[in-house]
Chain A
Amino acid sequence: MSNVRTGAQIIWETLVREGVKTVFGYPGGAILPAYDAMLDYPVRHVLVRHEQGATHMADGYARASGEVGVAIATSGPGATNMVTGIATAMLDSSPILCITGQVGSRAIGTDAFQETDVTGVTLPITKHNYLVSDVDDIASTIHEAMYVARSGRPGPVLVDITKDAQQLSTELEWDPSDVKLPGYAPDLRATEAEYQRAADLINRAKRPVIFAGHGVMLSGAMGQVLDLAERANIPIAMTLLGIGGVPAQHPLNMGMMGMHGEAWVNEAIQEADLLLAFGMRFDDRVTGNLKTYAPNARKIHIDIDPAEFNKNVKVDVALAGDLSMVLSDLSPLVESGDRTDWLHTIHDMKGDVAVRDIQNLPDNGHLYAAHVINDIWRITNGKAIVVTDVGQHQMWEAQYYRHNEPRTLITSGGLGTMGFALPAAIGAKLANPDAEVWVVAGDGGFQMTMAELATIAQENIKINVAVINNGYLGMVRQWQEFFYERRYAATPLLSPDFAKLAECFGLAGATINTRADVEPAISKARSDERTVVMDFQVEQEDTVYPMVPAGADLHKMIRRPSLAPIVETADDE
C-alpha cells in the first residue's frame, strides 16, 4: 500500500497514532482540507460554538485525564478566539495541542483574508509553537508538539499549518522516537548534596508544613507525598490547584492556603519553621505580602521548572525535577518524626472556626451558596468531578466540596478565566464518560460561554450545572464592598431565566431559592438523563471568608463575623 498522503490526512493519521480519540473544534476556510480528511479517521469531533470553548474543552479533557487535549480551528479569528483558552492552559500547566489552519504559504505576510500571525500572537502564551508550511514537516511537528505539551512542565503547544501544506501530498514517514530537540531537557536531577541539605532541614524542623501544589498530581506523586507526611508527621496545606492531590479527609491535610484559605492554615504557615513546597510556585494569591511571609521558615522548593525558584520567595534549597523522582531520592533520607506539639498547636489555631462556619447557621430563610455547594458534596458523596468557573463560587467550592481524589477539581487558577467551567466540563466528561460531572459557575461567568449548552445538546452530553446566581459579579462586588466603599460600579447583573434557557436548548432546567429545595433539586438532576441547569438564587451580598486582602500579611485575614448575633436577629423576627 502506498504511503502517499495529503498533509490533511497526515494530520489525522499522526493524531490517531498519538492516541487522540476526541478533538474539539470549529471549521473554516484555511482548515477545510483537514476537516475534509477527518471523516476518514476514527476521531470524535466535537463542534463547539466558539473556539475559546474548544480550548477550554481540550483543557478540561487534559486535566481530567492527564492526556493531551486537542483543539482545532481555522486561521485568523478562529485562532485568535483560542487565545484566552491557551493562556488559561499556560498558567495552569495544562497540556493541550492547538492546531490552526493558516492561509497559503505564498499569501503569508500579505494581509490575506483571515490571515493573522498566530505564532506571533501566541508566542508568549504557549510553551512552544510552530508554523508549518511544508507538508513534509507535518508528521514530525505534530509528534514533537505532543511530546513538548505533555513532558516536563506541561503546557499548551500550537501548530499553525498552511492551507497548501494540508493540500499537498507526500510520503508519510513515521518514527515515534524521532524528536530532534537538542535544547529541550525536561528531565532534571538535583545533586546528592542538595538532597542531604533538604533532608537535614526536614529532620531538624519542629514546625514544618508541606505545600501540595498542582505538581503533586501532574507528577503522580500523591502516594509519596502522603507517605512522607505520615512518616514524619508533617501537616499539609494545599494550593487551589493542589486540591485533590491529598485526600481532604486525611487528618494531616489542613486544607487550602492563601487569600481565601482556612484561617488556621495561613496562621500555621506564618508560624512554621520549614516550608516544603511541592510542585507549586508561590503565587501572590497564596503568599500575600512577601515581606512578612512565613518569616521564621526555611524553605525547600521542589519543582520541575527551575525558573520558579527564587521568583517570588527566596528559598534555602531548590531541588529541580519531577516531584515523584525527587521524592524517591529524598524520602529515604527523611527520618520519621513525632511532631505532636506542632499538630496540637495547629489544632488549637482552629479556635472558634466552628461558630464562624456558615454551615452551622440555622435555616433563616436565606439560601447561601456555601449551603448549595456543601449539599452537592454531600449528595454526590464527594465523588463527582467538579468544574468551577472563577469568582466567589469557586472559592466556596474549594472550601466546601471536599475532594478525596486527584483530578476531581478542575478550575482556572492562574489566569482566573471566567467562562471556563461549562466548556471545560464538557471536556472532562468526554475524558471520563462514566464520571459524574458538575459545573459550579456564577451567573456572570456562566453567561460568558453558555452558548456551549448547544454543544452539550448536539453531542448528547450529560452533566449537571449549578449556577450560583446572586445577581452580582460577586467577587468584584465583594472587593467593592471591602475596598471601594460599596460603590457597586458595573457589578449588578441581570440574567435570563436560566431554567427556561436550558429548555430552549433542549436541556432541563430548575430554579431553586430555598434551602429546603436544594437537596431534592440535586437528586432530581442526578437522575435526569439530560443535562440539567439549576439556577440557585442565593443571598445577593454574601461574602467569601476568610479573606487576605491583596498584598496584605497572610495572617491578617478578614474573618466572617461570628454568626451568633445573626441567629438571634433571625429568631427575633
Chain B
Amino acid sequence: MTSKRKRHTFVVYVEDKPGVLNRVASLFRRRAFNIDSLTVGHSETISESRMTIVVESDASDARRIEANLYKLVNVVRVHDITNTPSIFRELAMVKVAATIETRTQIMQLVGVFRARVVDVAPDSLVIETTGTEEKIEGLLEVLRPYGILELVRTGRVGMVRGKQGVAVEPSDHVEDEDSASDDSDTDDPNVSYSV
C-alpha cells in the first residue's frame, strides 16, 4: 500500500551475442516484472550492446531487478539512472490523415513541436519527432483530431549528463533502503497465495 511505484530506467550493457535479448526479456517475465519499454542497439564498445529498459516498480524491486540482471552471465553492467540527471529521448513516426485544407494546419503544429514532416502524400503526412515521452504524447494529442493512421515509437533511450556518465565501471551498487514497503494489503482473503 505504501510502496512508491515509479518508472525506473536501467541502462544495461550486455555482451553482443546471440540470444542475449531473449535472456533479458525472459528474466523480466519469469520474475514478474513488467517492461514498459526496451530498446537495444550498439554501444561505444564494439563487443557490447546497450539496452535502455523502463520498468514500473518500487525502489526495492528496482534493486532486485538490478541484482537479477547481474546474475545473467552475459550482462556486463547495470545502471539504474532513474535518480541521476539524465537525458531521455524517444523517437516516433506518425502518419496523419491530411487533406488540402488541413495540411497547412498540421504543418504549423509540427513546427510548434519542432517535429519534422518526412513524407507528404495527397491525403497523408508522415511526421517524425524526437523528445521525451511527454512531448510525444503532447504532439499525438493535437494530431489525433486529424486522424492518426499509423504510429510507431521506439521506446525510451537514456544517457546520463556530463562526461563520466555510465560508460565507466560504477561504484558498488549497495545503498540504504529508503522505504520499507508492504504492498500485499490487496490480498483476497479467500484466495490462498501459498502452496
Residues of A within 8 A of B (CB): 119-120, 123-124, 127-128, 131, 148, 181-185, 190-191, 194, 284, 290-291, 305-307, 309-311, 314, 318, 320, 550-551
A128-B22 Cα distance, complex, nearest whole Å: 13
Known contacts A119-B19, A550-B194; A310 and B64 CB within 8 A of each other: yes
**How far does the Cβ of A251 sit from chain B's closest Cβ, in whole Å?**
34
- On B, residues with C-beta under 8 Å from A are 13-15, 18-19, 22-23, 26, 30, 48, 60, 63-64, 67-68, 70-77, 172, 174, 177, 180, 182, 184, 192-195
Taken together as a complex, chains A and B put the C-alpha atoms of A320 and B63 apart, in Å, by 14
The smallest C-beta distance from B126 to any residue of chain A, in angstroms, reads 35
**Which of A131, A182, A291 contacts B76 (CB under 8 A)?**
A182
Cα A310 to Cα B182 with chains together (Å)? 12
Q: Nearest-CB distance from A83 to chain B (Å)?
A: 15
Known: A123-B22, A123-B26, A550-B195. A183 touches B72 (CB 8 A): yes
Question: Given A190-B174, A191-B172, A550-B195, are A307 and B73 also a contact pair (CB < 8 Å)?
Answer: no
CB neighbours of B64 from chain A (8 A): 307, 309-311
Shortest distance between the CB of B185 and any CB in chain A (Å): 10
Contact indicator B22/A120 (Cβ below 8 Å): yes
Contacts of B68 in A (CB 8 A): 307
| Contact B194 A551, beta carbon cutoff 8 Å | yes
Is A183's CB under 8 angstroms from B195's CB?
A: no
Given the contacts A123-B22, A314-B180, A184 and B73 also touching, CB distance less than 8 Å:
yes
**B177 near A183: Cβ-Cβ < 8 Å:** no
Minimum distance in angstroms from B3 CB to a CB of chain A: 12
Determine which residue in A183, A184, A191 has the highest number of CB atoms from chain B within 10 A of its CB, and name it. Answer: A183
Which residue on A lies nearest to B181, using beta carbons? A314
For the complex formed, measure the closest distance between the CB of A418 and the CB atoms of chain B, giving whole angstroms.
15
Q: Which residues of A contact B194 (CB under 8 A)?
A: 284, 550-551
Are A307 and B71 also in contact (CB < 8 A) when A123-B22, A550-B194, A551-B194 are?
Answer: yes
Which of B22, B48, B67 makes the CB contact (< 8 A) with A307? B67
Give A306 to B182 CA distance when docked, in angstroms: 20
Q: Which residues of B contact A194 (CB under 8 A)?
A: 174
Supposing A124-B26, A550-B192, A551-B193 touch, asked if A306 and B15 sit within 8 A by C-beta, the answer is no
Q: List 13 A-B contacts (CB under 8 A).
A: A119-B19, A123-B22, A127-B73, A131-B18, A148-B73, A183-B77, A191-B172, A305-B71, A310-B63, A310-B64, A310-B177, A550-B194, A551-B192
CA distance A454 to B76 in the complex (A): 46
Which of chain B's residues have a CB closer than 8 A to the CB of A311? 64
Do B174 and A191 touch (CB < 8 A)? yes
Smallest CB separation, B75 vs chain A (Å): 5
Residues of chain A within 8 A of B195, CB atoms compared: 550
A124-B30, A314-B60, A314-B177 are known contacts; what are 9 more A-B pairs with Cβ within 8 Å? A183-B76, A183-B77, A184-B73, A190-B174, A191-B174, A290-B184, A307-B64, A307-B67, A318-B174
Q: Once bound together, how far apart are the Cα atoms of A128 and B20, in whole Å?
A: 11
Q: Which residues of B contact A314 (CB under 8 A)?
A: 60, 177, 180
A479 to chain B, nearest CB (A): 10
CA distance A550 to B191 in the complex (A): 12
Instruction: Please give the distance in Å from A295's CB to the nearest CB on chain B.
Output: 13
Q: How far is the CA of A31 from the CA of B30 in the complex (A)?
A: 31
Residues of B within 8 Å of A309, CB to CB, are 63-64, 67
Which residue of the partner chain, among B63, B73, B174, contacts A128 with CB atoms under 8 Å? B73
Q: How far is the CB of A312 from chain B (nearest CB, A)?
A: 11
Query: Would B177 and A123 count as touching, CB distance under 8 A?
Result: no
Query: Are B67 and A306 touching (Cβ within 8 A)?
Result: yes
Report A161 CB to chain B, min CB distance, Å.
15
B186 → chain A closest CB, angstroms: 13
CA distance A191 to B173 in the complex (A): 11
Q: Which of A120, A181, A306, A550 contacts B70 (CB 8 A)?
A: A306
Contact status A320-B193, CB under 8 Å: no
Q: Using CB atoms, name the residue of chain A closest to B72.
A: A183
Cα–Cα distance between A311 and B71 once the two chains are bound (Å): 15
Q: What B residues does A190 contact at CB under 8 A?
A: 174
- Complex Cα distance, B77 from A181, in Å, reads 12
Task: Note all chain B residues with C-beta closer than 8 A to A127.
Answer: 73
B residues less than 8 Å from A307 (CB atoms)? 64, 67-68, 70-71
CA distance A314 to B176 in the complex (A): 12
A194 and B172 CA atoms in complex are apart in Å by: 12
Using known A-B contacts A124-B26, A551-B194, determine if residue A183 contacts B67 with beta carbons closer than 8 Å: no
Determine the distance from Cα of A427 to Cα of B60 in the docked complex, in whole angstroms: 40
Q: How far is A550 from B70 in the complex, measured between Cα atoms in Å?
A: 32
- Could you tell me if B172 and A183 are in contact, using CB atoms closer than 8 angstroms? no
A183 to B73, alpha carbons, bound, how many Å?
6
A184 to chain B minimum Cβ distance, whole angstroms, is: 5
- Top 7 nearest A-B pairs (CB, nearest first) are A551-B194, A550-B194, A183-B76, A307-B67, A128-B73, A306-B67, A307-B68
Task: Name A183's contact: one of B14, B19, B60, B192 (CB within 8 Å).
Answer: B14
